Protein backbone atom coordinates (compact mmCIF):
# COMPACT_ATOMS: atom_id res chain seq x y z
CA UNK A 1 0.00 0.00 0.00
CA UNK A 2 2.52 2.62 -1.14
CA UNK A 3 2.09 6.11 -2.45
CA UNK A 4 3.67 5.23 -5.80
CA UNK A 5 0.35 4.66 -7.48
CA UNK A 6 -0.96 8.12 -6.60
CA UNK A 7 -0.40 10.27 -9.68
CA UNK A 8 2.04 13.12 -9.31
CA UNK A 9 -0.81 15.51 -9.99
CA UNK A 10 -2.53 14.65 -6.75
CA UNK A 11 0.54 15.04 -4.65
CA UNK A 12 1.03 18.50 -6.11
CA UNK A 13 -2.64 19.42 -5.68
CA UNK A 14 -2.30 18.46 -2.07
CA UNK A 15 0.25 21.21 -1.45
CA UNK A 16 -2.40 23.80 -2.22
CA UNK A 17 -5.06 22.34 -0.01
CA UNK A 18 -6.62 24.77 2.38
CA UNK A 19 -8.56 22.85 4.93
CA UNK A 20 -11.38 25.28 5.63
CA UNK A 21 -13.78 24.98 8.52
CA UNK A 22 -15.64 27.56 10.53
CA UNK A 23 -15.06 29.15 13.88
CA UNK A 24 -17.71 30.60 16.18
CA UNK A 25 -17.31 34.31 16.92
CA UNK A 26 -18.98 33.81 20.31
CA UNK A 27 -17.72 30.58 21.85
CA UNK A 28 -14.69 29.91 19.62
CA UNK A 29 -15.65 26.32 18.74
CA UNK A 30 -14.69 25.06 15.29
CA UNK A 31 -16.54 22.82 12.85
CA UNK A 32 -15.94 20.93 9.65
CA UNK A 33 -17.60 21.29 7.21
CA UNK A 34 -18.03 25.06 7.71
CA UNK A 35 -21.44 26.14 9.00
CA UNK A 36 -23.10 29.59 9.07
CA UNK A 37 -24.34 29.13 12.65
CA UNK A 38 -22.62 27.52 15.60
CA UNK A 39 -24.15 24.13 16.51
CA UNK A 40 -23.11 24.67 20.14
CA UNK A 41 -24.32 28.20 20.95
CA UNK A 42 -26.09 29.48 17.81
CA UNK A 43 -23.52 32.22 17.30
CA UNK A 44 -22.35 33.52 13.96
CA UNK A 45 -19.42 31.60 12.44
CA UNK A 46 -16.60 32.70 10.18
CA UNK A 47 -14.39 30.61 7.92
CA UNK A 48 -11.06 29.52 9.34
CA UNK A 49 -8.21 27.27 8.36
CA UNK A 50 -8.10 24.01 10.29
CA UNK A 51 -4.97 22.06 11.20
CA UNK A 52 -4.47 19.20 8.77
CA UNK A 53 -3.18 16.77 11.34
CA UNK A 54 -5.10 14.88 13.97
CA UNK A 55 -5.69 11.49 15.48
CA UNK A 56 -8.12 8.74 14.67
CA UNK A 57 -10.63 8.14 17.45
CA UNK A 58 -12.94 5.56 15.88
CA UNK A 59 -13.86 4.14 12.49
CA UNK A 60 -16.28 1.92 10.68
CA UNK A 61 -16.41 0.20 7.31
CA UNK A 62 -19.21 1.27 4.99
CA UNK A 63 -20.34 -1.70 2.90
CA UNK A 64 -23.49 -0.28 1.38
CA UNK A 65 -23.02 3.25 0.08
CA UNK A 66 -25.33 5.78 -1.57
CA UNK A 67 -25.50 5.59 -5.36
CA UNK A 68 -22.67 7.94 -6.30
CA UNK A 69 -20.28 6.27 -3.84
CA UNK A 70 -21.21 2.69 -4.71
CA UNK A 71 -18.13 2.02 -6.80
CA UNK A 72 -15.90 3.00 -3.90
CA UNK A 73 -17.57 0.72 -1.35
CA UNK A 74 -16.50 -0.80 0.89
CA UNK A 75 -14.66 2.18 2.36
CA UNK A 76 -13.66 3.38 5.80
CA UNK A 77 -15.24 6.33 7.59
CA UNK A 78 -13.45 7.66 10.63
CA UNK A 79 -14.01 10.07 13.49
CA UNK A 80 -10.93 12.28 13.71
CA UNK A 81 -9.90 14.78 16.33
CA UNK A 82 -7.81 17.52 14.74
CA UNK A 83 -4.90 19.03 16.63
CA UNK A 84 -7.08 22.00 17.68
CA UNK A 85 -9.79 19.69 19.04
CA UNK A 86 -12.22 19.94 16.11
CA UNK A 87 -13.96 16.64 15.49
CA UNK A 88 -14.42 15.61 11.88
CA UNK A 89 -16.13 12.63 10.27
CA UNK A 90 -14.46 11.79 6.97
CA UNK A 91 -13.33 8.97 4.75
CA UNK A 92 -10.03 7.29 5.60
CA UNK A 93 -8.10 6.17 2.53
CA UNK A 94 -4.81 4.57 1.36
CA UNK A 95 -4.91 2.09 4.24
CA UNK A 96 -6.55 -1.23 5.01
CA UNK A 97 -8.81 -1.52 8.00
CA UNK A 98 -6.54 -3.94 9.90
CA UNK A 99 -3.74 -1.33 9.83
CA UNK A 100 -5.84 1.19 11.77
CA UNK A 101 -5.14 1.85 15.42
CA UNK A 102 -7.02 3.98 17.91
CA UNK A 103 -5.18 7.26 18.38
CA UNK A 104 -3.01 6.91 15.26
CA UNK A 105 -1.89 10.09 13.47
CA UNK A 106 -3.78 11.01 10.31
CA UNK A 107 -3.67 14.02 8.02
CA UNK A 108 -6.11 15.68 5.65
CA UNK A 109 -5.62 15.27 1.92
CA UNK A 110 -7.70 16.33 -1.06
CA UNK A 111 -9.11 13.75 -3.45
CA UNK A 112 -11.42 13.68 -6.37
CA UNK A 113 -15.01 12.89 -5.48
CA UNK A 114 -16.99 10.35 -7.51
CA UNK A 115 -18.43 11.88 -10.65
CA UNK A 116 -22.09 12.75 -10.79
CA UNK A 117 -24.21 12.91 -13.90
CA UNK A 118 -23.26 16.55 -14.51
CA UNK A 119 -19.60 15.42 -14.88
CA UNK A 120 -18.38 18.38 -12.85
CA UNK A 121 -15.18 17.41 -11.06
CA UNK A 122 -15.45 17.85 -7.30
CA UNK A 123 -12.90 17.47 -4.57
CA UNK A 124 -13.38 16.27 -1.07
CA UNK A 125 -11.23 16.00 2.02
CA UNK A 126 -10.16 12.51 3.04
CA UNK A 127 -7.69 11.44 5.67
CA UNK A 128 -4.65 9.24 5.24
CA UNK A 129 -2.38 7.70 7.89
CA UNK A 130 0.48 10.03 8.75
CA UNK A 131 3.10 7.30 8.99
CA UNK A 132 5.92 9.80 9.30
CA UNK A 133 4.52 11.49 12.39
CA UNK A 134 3.53 8.40 14.30
CA UNK A 135 3.89 8.93 18.02
ZN1 LIG B 1 -20.57 29.01 19.43
Residues lying with their CB under 5 A of ligand 1, a single-atom ion: 24, 26-27, 38, 40-41, 43
If we measure between CA atoms, which residue out of 120, 58, 117, 63 comes closest to residue 92?
58
Residue 36 falls inside a structural domain: no
Kindly state whether residue 101 falls inside one of the protein's structural domains: yes
The answer as to whether 72 is a domain residue is: yes
Compute the Cα dihedral for 79, 85, 86, 92 and give only its sign. Answer: negative
Residue 15 inside a domain? The answer is no
SS (H, E, C) 29-74: CEECCCCCECCCCCCEEEEEECCCEEEEEEEEEECCCCHHHHHHCC
Cα of 56 from ligand 1 centre, angstroms: 24
- Higher per-residue pLDDT: 85 or 12: 85
Q: What is the pTM of this model?
A: 0.77
Residue 132 lies in a domain: yes
Q: How far is the CA of 42 from the centre of ligand 1 (A)?
A: 6
Cα 16 to ligand 1 centroid, rounded to whole Å: 29
Q: 135 pLDDT exceeds 80?
A: no
Could you tell me the distance, in angstroms and rounded to a whole number, from the CA of residue 7 to the centre of ligand 1? Answer: 40
Grade residue 2 by pLDDT with cuts at 50, 70 and 90: very low
Distance 118 CA to ligand 1 centre (A): 36
Q: How large is the greatest C-alpha to C-alpha distance in the chain, in angstroms?
A: 45
Number of neighbours of residue 85 by Cβ within 10 angstroms = 10
Residue 7: per-residue pLDDT = 56
Question: What are the φ and ψ backbone dihedral angles of 25, each rounded to 5 degrees?
Answer: -70, -20
52 Cα to the center of ligand 1, angstroms: 22
Indicate whether 8 belongs to any domain. no
pLDDT band at 133 (very low <50, low <70, confident <90, very high): confident
Domain membership of residue 97 (yes or no) is: yes
Which pLDDT tens digit goes with each residue over 29-61? 999 989 999 999 999 999 999 999 999 999 999
Of the chain, the percentage scoring pLDDT greater than 90 comes to: 57
CATH number at residue 89: 2.40.50
Q: How many domains does the chain have?
A: 1
**Residue 9 — pLDDT band, cuts 50, 70, 90?**
low
Peptide linkage before 33 cis (omega within 30 of 0): yes
* Boundaries of domain holding 94: 52-135
Residue 39 placed within a domain: no
Amino acid sequence: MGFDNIPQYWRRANVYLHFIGSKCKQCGKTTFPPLPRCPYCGGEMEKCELPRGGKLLAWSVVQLAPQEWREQAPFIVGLIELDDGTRVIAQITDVSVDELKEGMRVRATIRRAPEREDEVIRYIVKFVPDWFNEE
